[in-house]
């Protein structure tokens, strides 16, 4: 008899559904018979500027060492990060994308039958990594699409090991103030880990937006994650990091696979960290694009959730199906992101692109809605 391997898979995996990424450019090009160059992808919050030239140079310099394993300890990148962030290298855990860190923290602390807490409309990976280890996900209702941190603290039960806070959150672009975060951290029991996901940290200008790393000294249960996939423009290379106490970093480094970040990623991340002009330019481009898009949404009478990230979720007009708008935009060669799986069926999320990409998106949107 044929073996049914699906039935043999561990329970958390049997009910797991893979993460749904934004539609790739080459896939749509094949489907529409278009050139990849004619397609505008604003679906995965990628940096539209292209990589830093310094990153490209650093990668070229690594090519000759392709036969060697990378530095598993990430010495150079950790040193640069520690200087830039005024932390010790021992506080850093490097990830193959910051998503890796979410997986590590769950594997370090969460047993089958434990629970994790996160907000409605929060980033999808938290539920996935929790399910994988058989944990219960406690999802608290959002407040005007943002995290209700008081409700999240109240939802913690005897089995809760981790609370995931995304600041700002994806796909809503909402954020919490320093006071809200500190009040929350004061409420969370000392043995419960708070994973503060700051993937969009660099884009936020709000004066009362907190820097999670500055709170580490007061809250030993805090882990802050950041990434090179967004403002640093290196999504393809998969590199991110966690910052925590050395004790938590030591635990996470025990479950981290050896060589989880490759030489090109290490070198490019380090070079982009040192290229401050690149990051400034990325942020300025984002600010201009955000102003343009919100202006156009206002002019079109489309509601949107004010966002401090490099993306924005807008509401399709009443009586219009968001998937129809999504598919209509695809036919115009523009890829945005449906967010029905984030319980936002009447919204679409669009990443901020270059000026030309943003204009192409608005032109296509007007066509689809007319
Ligand atoms: C994009 C994103 C990340 C980054 O993922 P990487 O694995 O670092 O590419 C993390 N958290 C949120 C909320 C994101 O939107």
Distance 370 CA to ligand 1 centre (A): 34
For ligand 1, atom 11, which residue shows the shortest CA distance? 199
Domains 17-46+277-369 and 53-274 share a fold: no
pLDDT tens track, the chain, 370 positions: 789 988 898 888 888 887 878 889 999 999 888 888 889 999 999 999 999 999 999 999 999 999 999 999 999 999 999 999 999 999 999 999 999 999 999 999 999 999 999 999 999 899 999 998 999 999 999 999 999 999 999 999 999 999 999 999 999 999 999 999 999 999 999 999 999 999 999 999 999 999 999 999 999 999 999 999 999 999 999 999 999 999 999 999 999 999 999 999 999 999 999 999 999 999 999 999 999 999 999 999 999 999 999 999 999 999 999 999 999 999 999 999 999 999 999 999 999 999 999 999 999 999 999 9
Distance 359 CA to ligand 1 centre (A): 26
172 lines ligand 1 (CB under 6 A): no
The fold adopted by the segment(s) 17-46+277-369 is 3.90.1150
Distance 365 CA to ligand 1 centre (A): 27
199 lines ligand 1 (CB under 6 A): yes
> To which residue do tokens 């938290």 refer?
126
Q: Which atom of ligand 1 is nearest to the CA of 100?
A: 7
Q: What is the pLDDT of residue 209?
A: 98
CB atoms within 10 A of CB 85: 19
DSSP secondary structure code for residue 96 in this structure? S
Distance 368 CA to ligand 1 centre (A): 30
Q: Domain map of the chain by residue range?
A: 17-46+277-369, 53-274
Which structure tokens are listed for 142? 């959002």
Q: What is the pLDDT of residue 18?
A: 79
97 lines ligand 1 (CB under 6 A): yes
Distance 198 CA to ligand 1 centre (A): 8
Cβ within 8 Å of residue 211, ≥6 positions away: 201
HSE on the CB side for 59, CA within 13 Å?
15
Q: What is the pTM of this model?
A: 0.96
Q: What is the pLDDT of residue 12?
A: 81
Q: What is the pLDDT of residue 223?
A: 98
127 lines ligand 1 (CB under 6 A): no
Question: Thinking of the domain 53-274, which architecture would CATH place it in?
Answer: 3-Layer(aba) Sandwich (3.40)
Q: What is the CA radius of gyration of the chain?
A: 21
Asked whether 49 and 354 are in contact (CB, 8 A), the reply is yes
For ligand 1, atom 6, which residue shows the shortest CA distance? 97
91 lines ligand 1 (CB under 6 A): no
123 lines ligand 1 (CB under 6 A): yes
Distance 237 CA to ligand 1 centre (A): 13
CB neighbour class for 292 (10 Å; exposed up to 12, middle 13-18, buried from 19): middle
Which structure tokens are listed for 77? 């990148």
Mutate to test the pocket of ligand 1, among 47, 94, 230 (most ligand atoms within 8 A of CB): 230
47 lines ligand 1 (CB under 6 A): no
Q: What is the pLDDT of residue 138?
A: 98
CA geometry: angle 171, 174, 180, nearest 5 deg:
140
Distance 81 CA to ligand 1 centre (A): 18
Q: Which atom of ligand 1 is nearest to the CA of 228?
A: 8
């Amino acid at each position: 008899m044929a073996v049914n391997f699906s039935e043999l898979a561990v329970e958390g995996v049997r009910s797991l559904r893979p993460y749904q990424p934004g539609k790739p450019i080459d896939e749509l090009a094949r489907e529409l018979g278009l050139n990849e160059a004619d397609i505008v992808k604003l679906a995965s919050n990628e940096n539209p500027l292209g990589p830093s030239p310094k990153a490209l140079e650093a990668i070229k310099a690594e090519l000759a060492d392709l036969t060697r394993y990378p530095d598993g300890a990430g010495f150079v990148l950790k040193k640069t990060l520690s200087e830039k962030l005024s932390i010790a290298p021992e506080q850093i855990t490097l990830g193959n994308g910051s998503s890796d860190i979410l997986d590590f923290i769950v594997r370090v602390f969460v047993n089958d039958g434990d629970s994790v807490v996160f907000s409605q409309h929060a980033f999808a990976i938290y539920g996935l990594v929790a399910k994988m280890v058989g944990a219960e996900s406690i999802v608290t209702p959002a407040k005007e699409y943002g995290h209700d941190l008081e409700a999240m603290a109240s939802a913690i039960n005897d089995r809760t090991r981790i609370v995931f806070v995304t600041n700002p959150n994806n796909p809503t672009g909402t954020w919490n103030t320093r006071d809200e975060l500190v009040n929350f951290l004061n409420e969370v029991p000392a043995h419960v880990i708070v994973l503060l996901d700051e993937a969009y940290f660099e884009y936020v200008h709000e004066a009362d937006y907190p820097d999670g790393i500055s709170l580490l000294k007061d809250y030993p249960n805090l882990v802050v994650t950041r990434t090179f996939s967004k403002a640093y423009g290196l999504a393809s290379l998969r590199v991110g990091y966690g910052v925590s106490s050395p004790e938590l970093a030591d635990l996470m480094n025990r479950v981290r696979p050896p060589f989880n970040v490759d030489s090109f990623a290490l070198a490019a991340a380090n070079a982009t960290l040192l290229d401050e002009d690149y990051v400034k330019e990325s942020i300025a481009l984002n600010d201009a694009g955000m102003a343009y898009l919100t202006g156009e949404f206002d002019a079109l009478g489309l509601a949107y959730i004010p966002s401090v990230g490099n993306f924005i979720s807008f509401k399709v007009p009443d009586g219009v199906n968001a998937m129809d708008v999504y598919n209509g935009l695809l036919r115009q060669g523009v890829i945005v992101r449906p967010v029905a799986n984030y319980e936002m069926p009447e919204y679409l999320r669009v990443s901020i692109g270059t000026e030309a990409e943003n204009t192409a998106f608005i032109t296509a949107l007007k066509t689809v809605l007319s």
